[in-house]
A and B are shown apart, each in its own frame.
Chain A
Amino acid sequence: MKLMTCPINGQRPISEFFYGGELRPMPDPATADDATWADYIFNQNNVPGLKQEWWCHTPSNTWFIAERHTLTDEIQRTYLYGSQVLEEVSP
């Protein structure tokens, strides 16, 4: 069974979680030009590597950040957004 650790609820089967996409800094919609905004909306960085991702523990609706290596599917750590300094890990 594949397991993931929710920062609040502990280790649970992956079926209790929902993937919410990669954590990416959002450009300021008031000042960003169209090209920058379109790049943010439509383009994803699919280079395999260690990514910060949004995940949700669905029974408790707890959203948190998981650092997951998208090539090996290894989850390095999970934590609540804002509880740790977010480091740039994407290539």
Chain B
Amino acid sequence: MMRASPVQDCLSSSATRRDINGMSTVWSTPEDLQGDTLGLCDRSCLTRWGVKGAGAAAWLTALGLPVPQHPNQWCALPEDGLIARLGTTEFLIEDGWEGAIAPQLAQQMANLPSKVYPVLRQDLAIALTGCAVPDLLRQTCSVNFQALDLTEQPVILTSMIGVSVVVIPGDRAGRPFYRIWCDGTFGVYLWQTLVTIAQDLGGGPIGAAYLYDLELGR
């Protein structure tokens, strides 16, 4: 099955592409090194699935998945990926570059118990990386991410340039590393605006290979 990124038409046509999970993805660009300063990477190709309802936490636990105990918290999946608790009864499950749990969960959609409901996730998923990420966030968002305790693995649901987003702040290799999701229909606006600001700050779009190495520590 072919999938398309919400920002497919905004991505560089001259970049090296690779098919990941059925989605044509920008893998590398000549500007990838600007990720050290401020890089935006489209990671919509990663498989994800959502589930919500009063029985969702118990159902995920019964499947042997780690479930964040508190609202707006995330934890890592055993293979590669994450599970984020959005509020009290909704969860976002996203595979990493080498994980495959989300498609397995989606296959069980027809056999969900009561009070467990699937949530179709067709998000724009991006990552921000580089030392200038806080500068970009200060221009686009009202949350003070610097005050967060990253060891508590927080999930922030807020508004970024008027678009509702889910943000997981973090760091990799000593530099800020933020994962952001938004509804795909707002994707082009969010992407183009962030790219414009990033370019003002000396950064810009980068390929997924940069993130692949960063996230897997290679």
Chain A residues within 8 Å of B, Cβ to Cβ:
1, 8-9, 12-13, 15-16, 57-62
- The CA of A12 and the CA of B144, in the complex, are separated in Å by 10
- Count of chain A to chain B residue pairs whose CB atoms are closer than 8 Å in the complex: 32
- Residues on A with C-beta less than 8 A from B142 are 1, 12-13, 15-16
- The CA of A61 and the CA of B143, in the complex, are separated in Å by 17
B91 to chain A, nearest CB (A): 13
> Are A59 and B158 within 8 A (Cβ)?
yes
> Are A8 and B165 within 8 A (Cβ)?
no
> Are A59 and B87 within 8 A (Cβ)?
no
Name the contact of A16 in the complex, choosing from B71, B72, B88, B159 (C-beta under 8 A).
B159
Chain B residues within 8 Å of A, Cβ to Cβ:
71-72, 86-88, 142-143, 156-159, 164-165
* Given A8-B87, A8-B88, A59-B164: A15 and B157 interface contact (C-beta under 8 Å): no
> Are A15 and B87 within 8 A (Cβ)?
no
- Residues on A with C-beta less than 8 A from B157 are 9, 57, 59-60
- Residues on B with C-beta less than 8 A from A13 are 142
- The CA of A42 and the CA of B88, in the complex, are separated in Å by 34
A9, A57, A60, A62 interface centre (most CB from chain B within 10 Å)? A60
